[in-house]
Amino acid sequence: MERAAALDRVEALLDTIEQETMPVPVREVWLYGDAALGLDPVERLDVYLTKDMLLESDDAVADRFEREYGIKGVGSTVRAEWAEQHPDALRASDNGYAAPEKCLGAHLTGSDEPIHLEVCNAPFGDNVTQRLRGALDRGAYEQVLDPRGACLWVDGEREAETIEKLRAGELAFPTLSEALGMLGADEDEATAAAEAVQRRRAERSGATVRGDVV
């Protein structure tokens, strides 16, 4: 996508979050990757969503949706109100329960759009740190989350100044390896992780989503 169109698409995504019922409450929206870095064109949109976990359940609702759609957990893992409105966007995890991250992906993106959603219960900065530590401990560098992000939306408020700076190309970020080094990775680890992240991005196509719990 051309950069202007990519940022328009991000703002349309924010409109949807603001105006429509979501599968679960969304608390923060961050933009990272190509679009945050000022690249033009933007190969993929990388968007991070911080979600809240539902604390209530309704067994009767869950039983009905399980009978009708074969998906468990409606009313406890995702909102029953949302599922009533968008049964076509219901998605399940491998264990058969409604998967909040997959439901968000189905609601917010088209299947052929070059958009990746990272969905987690933790804020962006916390998850970046946790993912880096885990990746370095295991040598699983492809699991690193690019820390170079811009917060677009928090608790119902759009960060208009940040969006304006993104459109003007006024946000400056280091290289990915430099950013990982600032978070504690040594030079070799940072270089290997940056290369692994770039390979993973190049392998993606269409709309993709990843869920995480910290």
* Structural domain count of the chain: 1
Model pLDDT, residue 49: 98
Q: Which residue has the higher pLDDT, 212 or 58?
A: 212
- The answer as to whether 95 is a domain residue is no
pTM: 0.94
- The answer as to whether 8 is a domain residue is yes
Residue 196 has pLDDT above 90, yes or no: yes
Share of the chain above pLDDT 70, in %: 100
Nearest residue to 153 via CA among 56, 28, 68: 28
- The answer as to whether 173 is a domain residue is yes
**How many Cβ atoms from other residues are within 10 Å of residue 134's Cβ?**
13
For residue 187, what are its two tokens? 């030079």
- The answer as to whether 73 is a domain residue is no
Residue 71 has pLDDT above 80, yes or no: yes
- The answer as to whether 163 is a domain residue is yes
Give the pairing of strands 149-154 and 26-32: antiparallel
Q: Which residue has the higher pLDDT, 29 or 54?
A: 29
- The answer as to whether 156 is a domain residue is yes
161 and 189 Cβ atoms separated by less than 8 Å: no
> The domain containing residue 183 runs over which residues?
3-53+100-212
Q: Which residue has the higher pLDDT, 117 or 34?
A: 117
The CA-CA-CA angle for residues 121, 46, 168, to 5°, reads 120
Burial class (CB in 10 A: 0-12, 13-18, 19+), 97: middle
Confidence label for 53 from pLDDT (cuts 50, 70 and 90): confident
The size of the chain, in residues, is: 214
Name residue, tokens 């190969």.
Answer: 43
pLDDT tens profile 132-159: 999 999 999 999 999 999 999 999 999 9
For 195, phi then psi, to 5°, come to -65, -40
- The answer as to whether 69 is a domain residue is no
Model pLDDT, residue 58: 74
The three-state DSSP-derived secondary structure of the chain is: CCHHHHHHHHHHHHHHHHHCCCCCCEEEEEEECHHHHCCCCCCCEEEEEEECCCCCCCHHHHHHHHHHHCCECECCCECHHHHHHCHHHCCECCCCEECHHHHHHHHHCCCCCCEEEEEECCCHHHHHHHHHHHHHHHCCHHHCCCCCEEEEEECCEECHHHHHHHHHCCCCCCCHHHHHHHCCCCHHHHHHHHHHHHHHHHHCCCCEEEEECC
Model pLDDT, residue 51: 96
pLDDT tens profile 12-42: 999 999 999 999 999 999 999 889 999 999 9
Nearest residue to 31 via CA among 182, 132, 167, 142: 167
- The answer as to whether 32 is a domain residue is yes
CA count, 13 A, side-chain hemisphere, 17 = 29
